[in-house]
Structure formats: C-alpha cells, structure tokens
A and B are shown apart, each in its own frame.
Chain A
C-alpha cells in the first residue's frame, strides 16, 4: 500500500509537470499578445517594447518556461499582468470559496442522487422508477447556466427564499450548490440504482429476509451500506467534473471562487493567472483521483494493487 502511494504520488507530479508544460506552450502560441493587453491602446511602440523586456516576454519559449518552472518550485506563481498582484494571493483569497462550493455540491448531489437511486431501485420497473430516471436524465443534460438562472429566478427572485447571488452565509450556498449538485445527482441516482438493484439480488439479502428481518432493517443495515460504497468512491472523480462547472456556476451566482478568476483571466490573456488556476485545478483533480483510488482499495480489497 505504501509503495503504491509513493508511486502514484510520483506519477501525479509527472502529470502536473506535463500539464504545466502543455498549458505554457499553448498560451505561448495563442494568437494574442499579452503585452499589448497590458500596454493598452495609447501606448507607444517604445512602451510596448519596454514592458515586453521587463516581463521577459522577449525571451525564447524555452527560457520563459524554465524561468517559470524555477519560480514555481520556489512556490512563486508570478504576478498577474493586469491585476498587478501576486497570483498566489489572488488564488488563495478565492480558493476557500470554491472549495466550500464544491463541498456543498458534493453534499447536494449525494443527498439527491442517492435517495433518488435508492427509491428507484426499491420500486424498480414502477412508474416512480421511470419518472425518477427521466428526472435524472434531464438533470444530467440541462446546461448549468440554465439550471442556475432558473433556480435563481424561482427561489430567489419570486419566492424570496434565498438571496439573489452573493457569498457569506449558508443561505447563499444553497442555490449554487444545488445547481452543481443537480448535474452530479443524475449520475449518482443511476449508479446508486444499479448498485442497489445488484445488492438486493445478493444471497445475504435473501438470507436476511429469510431470517425474518423487517424490510426497513434489511434496506438500511444490510443493502444500503454495501450498495453505497462503490458509489462513494466516485466522489474523487467528481472534483474534476466540478472544476469545469464552477466557471459557469460561480458566474451566475456571483460566487467569488477561482472559476471566475480563470474566466476573467482568459478574456484578458492574463497568462500568470491562467497558468496558476490551471495548475491548482489540475492538482485538485490529481488529488481527487488519488483519493478515489485509495477509497476503492479500502472499500473493495478485491481490487489488485499493481
């Protein structure tokens, strides 16, 4: 187990190095000049050249990347071109909000997805089952921008149950977490349903029934814990899916996370921020996958460590 972890950690570092390299090269090749974004429309050619030299953007790609990597190893993500602040400051001030949103989203998707899946499995083939599976299908397919605005309009603007966007209290978290959770819950309800159906067919469930346990006890004590474990192991992978989703959801709800930061930076070719957010997201995804692997191992010893 220990050597497995070490190996996976080393692999993860290689992945991150690859991500940094690919992103850097792609941004370098972008048909847009960050210096001109900084210099603005009234700058003289001299000003543009002067800024290019000060930022080291007149150097060849390899030199630029090598410098970036050197700073990165010292924990320096550089300074934002346009916000003129340390990228690490910008990311650290926004990361907690994104993590909170992600935690809320995972809670929401599990709550909705697992209960829908269990109910559908118990009523397999019934009208309820069909309706729930259609709902989950819609949840998976609906664009988050639409879901977000719909929830906002109904529950915040019309019903006044929640604030119209913003950040700070629990009630601010509900709608954005729900918007992201609805997408994930669609997958979870389907996985939970099949996992549960599978478990309910197992011998030990029949045994439990045979020895006269109540239906309630069979489901809650025997079937559910067994069915839920393989599903829970998927959470780590969700991190990756959510990293993509937060860009949209944070925009709609005015949630001050790193998704908004990334979106703004992309529009303004603020390369240090784009690099920083990409690396942080990649790290989160790598860690998520690592956690997923470890949980799967613990849940199901039959999985072989290679």
Chain B
C-alpha cells in the first residue's frame, strides 16, 4: 500500500498499463495443460458478494476482477479493471478510468455501469453479503443498508469508462476494499438470469470461467481466451475435486494423480513428508497474515484485572505450543503478524517467565491462583494446544478446565459478555481480509466488536484507542503513509500494555505441489490467494 500511494496517481496512469503487466509474465512459462486440485468440503458458492471462506476466495478471484488487485505473490496493490485512478486532495473522491475492451465471459463488454451496479448489489441488504460492511465509508451507504435507498449516493458513472466514488469520511484502506472479492464487477443480466443461483452460475471478467460444476464431485474452470491480461492464464483448465480427505489427497499426490491438495498436508503426515527430501522439495513454505491468540475476557473476573492478564501472558510457553504443531508457526509478540505493514519490529513482547508471572499474580491478590475455563474448537490440534496452555497455567497456580466444542458453539460463547473467560482462537483465528494494519483491530479488538454476537471475544473496549484508530485511518495522504503505520503500531503497543490477548503464534503456510507444477514459489504462498494464485501458475509437461 505505501509503495503505491507514494507514487503520484498521474504518473501511475501513464506508466503502469502495458509495462507492468508484461513484466508479470514468466519467461519460462508454457501455456496449456490442466491441473487437479482437491478439497474435502464442497465449494459453497462462487458469488463474489457472498463467498467468504478461504476455499472459495481464490477461486472467485480467478473468475472475477475488481477495480483494484494485488501483484501476484505479494501484498502490493495494483490497478485491476481500473486502468488508472486519481484521488482528490481530501482523500474522499476517487475517480477510476476503466480498461477499454474488457469482456465478461458472456461476451459483453464491461462498462462503468457494471461497476456501479456491482457496488449497489453488494451493499443492498437483500444480497445478504457478509462483506457489505467493508463499504461503510462510501457516501450513502447507511441509507442503502437500512433500506431507505436502493443505490449508493456516492457512486456514479461518468461515461462508459469512468467511475467516481465519493466517501463520507476519509478512509485510508479504501483501495484495499476495492481489491476484495466483494467489490468484483458482475454483469447485471447474468445475475438477473441466474437469480438466487448466481453463485452456481458465475459470470465475470476473470482469467477463468466456470465450465462444469457437478455438485459433490468436481468443478472445472476453463481458460478465458479473451482475458484482458494478455498471455494469461497459462493453464487451460483447473479441475477442483471435492469430497477428498486430506490424507487421501496426499496419497493421490504421491501417486501422481493430484497436483495440489487444497487442504494442505494433514498434520499427522507433516513430519513424514518433511523428513523425506524428495517430498519436502515440493513443499513451499511462506508466512501468512494470521495470528493465533488466547482471548482473556476483560469483563469477567479475574481477567478484569490487568495484572492477571499480564501474568497469563508471561506464563505461556509459546515455543512449546509451536512444538505441539510440529513447528509449523513462529511465535508471536503482538496482534499483527510480522509480514504486515505496521508490525513493531523492536518489541519483545511478554517473555516466558513463570516466576515473574507468579509474583505478578500475587500482587493482583491471587497468590493461590484461581479457577477458570478455556474454550477451544474441538478439532486437532486445538485440544492438544489447549492442554499445553492448561499445563502452563497450572505452573502459576491457575487451574483451567477445557471446554472443547464445535466451532459454531465456541463462536457463540465468545459473542456473549459473560460466558467464556478464555478462548483459544485456533480454527477460528484471524486471517487478514486485506494486507493493512487496520484489519486486525476493529472487529476483534475495537469497541464495535465488543457487542453481543461480535468477534471481540476479550470484550476489550478502549475508547481512547478507538479514537487513535479512527484518526490513523483518516490519514489518506500518500506522503504520510509511514506516519499512519506508526499510529497503528502505537495502537497495538497500547493493546499489549492492556493485555486483552495472549498472542501465541503466527502460522506458516505449507503448500505441496506435484513435480510438474511450475511458477515462482511466491505464487504458491500468495498472501491473497490460498492455496495458490491460479492465474499465474503453469505446468512443465505440456506437449
């Protein structure tokens, strides 16, 4: 983000289009061929306004495009369907010039009207989009959200290739919001024709179109020959086979029948794979924008006492927890993951020190410890991690009973003010929607999330920090991007002082691929497309 905003918008509009696109082509790539990707679960929907799980996110990305996009394998914003854009001095008016000649899969040319329609659609309550709230800064959003208006006041087209979006407040994250799948451009006639089943009959402008969908068995994506990024995609087709257990998918990969097991390497087989040099060579490791944490409910005794929360922070042996998951993570000191802009580099966090924790606990008036409950999702390895936490806390005299429940039940308990004193976030942990420091605050640490049914499970609400956060996000001047990140860093450091969380680890990603797969490693740990960026990978054995 900071790189992009630092460039002047005008220079961008002149320099970017052809030169930058050409440079993303891989000189070693061969076009053609198809790959097989497996998943355990059915694909829920391919409607970009609805799809919001890590499985369909990358699929939707390959079928649709939005005004903004990310350079493959990175978190760098680049224009997508927009050829260029300008931002007004107050940071509240965005004017986008669209690429000419972009075609939907149905053959029709995409225009500014489609962009307007798509933004109106995703924010319309009848669409039931889980991402509607991201567009809250657009002028007229509130009227659409409460049903008193049917279109966004701040969005309009000026001619077939120009769209203006006006915000009601400065929003430094807005370009990221336009790179979310929720902001994808969809053709009105296809949505109208498919009705409620648009998610099963998607039509976009993306690199692939949906060829076949046999429910419960497979989806086949076919190359979009008219794709506006010349030379892409390399693959002719992608077959997603669903209903495959991760362990069976691994066996099939070893047998040469599968190219990418979408659910990753099953934990029980991880050591076996990594200890075999031939297999380990086909595993790509990378960071991801993820933090696993323990929430301490600041509205329930004794966690309403900051000293108790700090003591718990000191009592957790993070390295041992990482051993429980075979070292598939790095230990965390703060809410933000290390690869996120705004991460505070020189902060050591709470070091593991049981003695210091004990004396802090005594200071807080709990010399003899106390009894509490830890909620955890009931799938491996989370209960084992909960046991490690339980042991660590018994070391400072805190007796923890573990409540191991189905995911939905843990989420429900976290959304009640007085139910879950502690929650281990595993299986429900925060993965960034977009690579910006603000994305780890609002819903999970801000006051707006500390409501019944919210995701701020520590029920931490610090109005002062909320004000700082709002201030940071109103800094839209590209020249002050670093200043803004410093403000966010200050917010998270203040959070650590109050210790509503124990940040435990940042999970690493391990993508396994077949021998025939080609393309830069970064594509296989793309921070935005999990498991891989389908538009840019290729196979080596095309005849």
Contact = CB atoms under 8 A, between A and B. Distances in A.
Interface of A: 30-34, 36-48, 50-51, 54, 79, 82-85, 89-90, 93-94, 97, 149, 152-153, 156-157, 164-167, 250-257, 260-261, 264, 267-269
A40 B52 contact: yes
Contacts of B200: 84-85
A38 B52 CA distance: 9
A90 B217 CA distance: 12
Contacts of A30: 408-409
Interface of B: 40-42, 44-45, 47, 50, 52, 125-126, 128-134, 136, 145-146, 196-197, 199-200, 214-217, 241-245, 247-248, 251-252, 254-255, 257, 406-409, 411-413, 415, 430, 433, 443, 451, 453-455
A47 B127 CA distance: 10
Q: Which of A79, A252, A254 has the most CB of B within 10 A?
A: A254
A82 B53 CA distance: 11
Given A90-B215, A264-B42, A85 B197 contact: yes
Given A32-B406, A41-B455, A47 B130 contact: yes
A164 B248 contact: yes
B243 A256 contact: yes
B404 to A, nearest CB: 14
Contacts of B406: 32, 267
**9 shortest A-B CB distances, which residue pairs?**
A32-B408, A40-B130, A256-B216, A44-B133, A93-B215, A254-B243, A254-B244, A50-B125, A269-B408
A254 B443 contact: no
Nearest to B428: A41
B128 A54 contact: yes
Contact of B251 (A34, A44, A164): A164
Given A31-B412, A45-B451, A267-B406, A164 B130 contact: no
Contact of B128 (A33, A36, A50, A85): A50
Contacts of B216: 90, 93-94, 97, 256-257, 260-261
11 contacts: A31-B409, A36-B415, A40-B130, A40-B131, A42-B52, A83-B44, A84-B45, A164-B251, A256-B216, A261-B216, A264-B41
A38 B128 contact: yes
A92 to B, nearest CB: 9
A62 to B, nearest CB: 22
A40 B132 CA distance: 11
A94 B248 CA distance: 20
Contacts of B255: 157, 164
A216 B44 CA distance: 58
A174 to B, nearest CB: 16
A267 B247 CA distance: 19
Given A54-B125, A84-B50, A165-B244, 4 more contacts: A39-B128, A43-B132, A54-B126, A84-B47
A85 B216 CA distance: 13
Contacts of A166: 241
B266 to A, nearest CB: 12
A90 to B, nearest CB: 6
Contacts of A45: 451, 453-454
Contacts of B199: 83-85
Nearest to B410: A32
A166 B251 CA distance: 13
A33 B248 contact: no
A255 B248 CA distance: 12
A93 B213 CA distance: 11
Contacts of A261: 42, 216
Given A84-B45, A84-B196, A255-B243, A32 B248 contact: no
Q: Which of A41, A46, A97, A260 has the most CB of B within 10 A?
A: A41
A295 B251 CA distance: 44
A297 to B, nearest CB: 38
A41 B443 contact: yes
Given A89-B215, A152-B248, A164-B248, A42 B131 contact: yes
B413 A42 contact: no
A79 B134 contact: no
Nearest to B47: A84
Nearest to A53: B125
B130 A39 contact: yes
Contacts of A41: 430, 443, 455
B146 A32 contact: no
Contacts of B412: 31-33, 36
B407 A267 contact: yes
Contacts of B245: 165, 251-252, 254
B248 A252 contact: yes
